[in-house]
């Protein structure tokens, strides 16, 4: 690769990042934001945007996929070792952060990604939770008297419930992780066991 | 009222009950069941049915309202005295039974009743749960460290989650009340408290 080629490629990469950043900002505010609006936000011409993303759908899909990859990388980085209850609190806190970022794009995502792709995107986070709950069950700190899909569903439902409570203005996004963690940790406690205080495990 | 009038009125009342029973059966199986199909199920003519219910919409609304009134009466009859946790288990079991009966009609109900009526129908059961949770909080057996709407929402979400699990064939309707009760009782246990075994309180 010549030096000129290398410079051109670096420029292109920088433009792609600028376009994706701008698209994330605009689409979070307005799921129907046009390519022109996204180009303006990026400080680039529409032709440049279309040079990298042939259609608006391709651009939206790329933004959503990037947000999901970032969210997944952040979740993958969570330390899931040690006490499974403390690990679950950390996982819930990061899941909430990642979901906030992806959630803002979800209205745009729903139309940009095929349903089977959206479904597949739930699999990695779901499998991660399942592995942690299984470890907690083996350690005896999570209940094993109810089916695992029901227990993972409890976390899923708490997260979605919190999103609904925030939409209804009965809860703030800042309060959500603690409410979710407190509820799910209690729900996962084996009968006869003592419900832990979440505070002990937050921001240690 | 003459004897003849009294006989006629008793006949009419019997026909109305027959029509409502038949409509409940047909509409549970097929939310789009026609008046002709309902009349056939009742063993009556369409003209007789229309004599009591001028439109299909009026008939569907009457069936749904009757199912809701029956469900509400059954819930009102639940003994909510004594240990709030045992009372909650009884309330969950009856709520599940009532919901199963109303739920079968819900597809028909959604089109027959205006949204504000459907919303109002949630209020009495929700208020009943709220009063019971408040009593349990005063008694110290239910947690008071999380907002009450979030705690009542935990029950709501568990019930709806169970319905979803049954639709997905990951759970049977028979297992649902115990799973719901076990999860919600644990979720409501105050931090530092011991999670109760649901078995002790079922079918005493």
Question: In this predicted model, what pLDDT tens digit does every residue of A168-189 receive, in sequence order?
Answer: 898 998 999 999 999 999 999 9
pLDDT beyond 60 at B90: yes
* Residue A148 sits at the chain B interface (C-beta within 8 Å): no
Question: What average pLDDT does this structure show over B39-47?
Answer: 95
Are B50 and B126 found together in one domain?
no
* Interface with A, mutate which of B154, B156, B158, B165 (most A CBs under 10 A): B154
Are A40 and A102 found together in one domain?
no
Last residue of a domain, one of B54, B75, B98: B54
**Residue A131 DSSP code:** H
Are A81 and A11 found together in one domain?
no
pLDDT in tens, A24-73: 999 988 888 999 999 999 999 999 999 999 999 899 989 988 888 888 89
A12: Cα separation from own chain's centroid: 27
pLDDT in tens, B102-153: 777 877 777 777 777 777 777 888 899 999 999 999 999 999 999 999 999 9
Sorting pLDDT into bands at 50, 70 and 90, what band is A203?
low
Q: What is the pLDDT of residue A152?
A: 94
Residues in chain A closer than 8 A to B126 (CB atoms): none
pLDDT beyond 90 at A131: yes
Signed CA dihedral, B69, B75, B78, B82: sign only: negative
DSSP codes, B67-110: HHHHHHHHHHTS---S-HHHHHHHHHHHHHHHHHHHHHHHHHHH
Are A27 and A95 found together in one domain?
no
By the 10 Å C-beta count (0-12 exposed, 13-18 middle, 19+ buried), B160 is classed as middle
Report the complex ipTM: 0.80
Distance from CA of B110 to the nearest CA of A (A): 21
CATH number assigned to the domain comprising residue A117: 1.10.357.10
Are A33 and A121 found together in one domain?
no
Are B182 and B154 found together in one domain?
yes
Last residue of a domain, one of B13, B33, B54: B54
Question: What average pLDDT does this structure show over B174-187?
Answer: 95
Q: CA-CA distance, B53 to A189, in Å (whole number)? A: 53
Are B36 and B77 found together in one domain?
no
Are B126 and B144 found together in one domain?
yes
Are B69 and B122 found together in one domain?
yes
pLDDT beyond 60 at A204: no
Q: What is the pLDDT of residue B131?
A: 95
* Residue A150 sits at the chain B interface (C-beta within 8 Å): yes
What percentage of chain B carries pLDDT values higher than 70? 98
| Count of Cβ atoms closer than 10 Å to residue A62 Cβ | 17
Are A142 and A84 found together in one domain?
yes
Are A86 and A201 spatial neighbours (Cβ–Cβ below 8 Å)? yes
Are B105 and B148 found together in one domain?
yes
| Inter-CA distances, B200 with B96, B162, B179, Å | 19, 22, 14
pLDDT beyond 90 at A148: yes
Last residue of a domain, one of B54, B76, B91: B54
CATH number assigned to the domain comprising residue B49: 1.10.10
Are A20 and A121 found together in one domain?
no
pLDDT beyond 80 at B29: yes
Check CB contact under 8 Å for B183 and A187: yes
User: How high does pLDDT run on average in chain B?
Assistant: 89
Chain B, nearest residue to A198 by Cα: B191
User: How high does pLDDT run on average in chain A?
Assistant: 89
Domain that holds residue A43: 1-54
Tokens of A165: 């409570």
Total tally of structural domains belonging to chain B = 2
Residues in chain A closer than 8 A to B184 (CB atoms): 187
Distance from CA of B186 to the nearest CA of A (A): 5
Question: What average pLDDT does this structure show over B39-63?
Answer: 94
| Inter-CA distances, B52 with B15, B49, B64, B125, Å | 9, 5, 16, 30
Q: What is the pLDDT of residue B202?
A: 67
Question: What average pLDDT does this structure show over A82-87?
Answer: 94
């Amino acid at each position: 690769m010549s030096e000129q080629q290398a410079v051109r490629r670096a420029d292109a990469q920088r433009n792609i990042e600028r376009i994706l950043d701008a698209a994330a900002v605009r689409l979070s505010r307005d799921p129907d934001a046009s390519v022109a609006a996204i180009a303006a936000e990026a400080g680039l011409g529409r032709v440049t945007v279309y040079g990298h993303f042939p259609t608006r759908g391709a651009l939206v899909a790329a933004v959503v996929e990037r947000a999901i990859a970032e969210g997944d990388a952040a979740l993958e980085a969570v330390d899931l070792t040690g006490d499974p209850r403390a690990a679950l609190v950390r996982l819930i806190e990061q899941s909430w952060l990642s979901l906030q970022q992806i959630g803002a794009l979800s209205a745009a995502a729903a139309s940009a990604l095929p349903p089977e792709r959206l479904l597949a995107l739930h699999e990695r986070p779901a499998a991660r939770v399942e592995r942690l709950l299984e470890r907690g069950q083996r350690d005896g700190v999570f209940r094993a008297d109810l089916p695992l899909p029901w227990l993972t569903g409890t976390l899923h439902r708490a997260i979605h419930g919190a999103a609904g409570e925030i939409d209804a203005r009965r809860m703030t996004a800042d309060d959500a992780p603690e409410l979710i963690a407190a509820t799910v940790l209690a729900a996962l406690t084996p009968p006869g066991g003592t419900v832990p205080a979440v505070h002990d495990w937050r921001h240690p």
